[in-house]
Amino acid sequence: MRLGDLIKAGYGIAEDLNCAETILRGANQAYGLNLDDEALKMAAAFGGGMAIGKTCGALTGALMVLGKLTVKERAHESDRIKQLTRELFNEYRREMGDLDCAPLKAKYRNEEVKCRPVIQKAADILDRIVERECQ
């Protein structure tokens, strides 16, 4: 299952999840990460650009997913997580124009769609990386 398809189908709306929670919890379902409810709580504080409008929570959620899928024990075992992080951020910035929550909200968020376009784009880029790197 693709995370992007899950998000497109509305995942996270009825559950009242923030952007980081939507990505992490959705990826848990889509990619079979086997994270329990306690582990999934780790994404809670990353919504709204960590509540200060900085790095988009959908991106921080995606980084948690990449860490779970690609790091065996710790980040310093290889440069792979750094390379994938740069790819995710570069691709997202190229397609959306920014990485930070505040300018992304100003450009894409409204009361009708909330932050769905921002979350959808992060999910789609994450899907591409996961399909190539983790299958």
What is the per-residue pLDDT across 39-70, written as a single tens digit (0 to 9) for each?
Answer: 999 999 999 999 999 999 999 999 999 999 99
Structural contact between residues 26 and 58, judged by C-beta atoms closer than 8 angstroms: no
pLDDT at residue 1, rounded to an integer: 86
- In the predicted structure, residue 135 carries a pLDDT above the cut 80: no
Q: How far apart are CA 66 and CA 84, in angstroms?
A: 8
SS3 (DSSP) at 100? strand
Q: Could you give the angle at the alpha carbon of 99 between the alpha carbons of 98 and 105, nearest 5°?
A: 75
Residue showing tokens 């994450």: 126
Q: What's the DSSP call for residue 75? A: G
Amino acid at 47: G
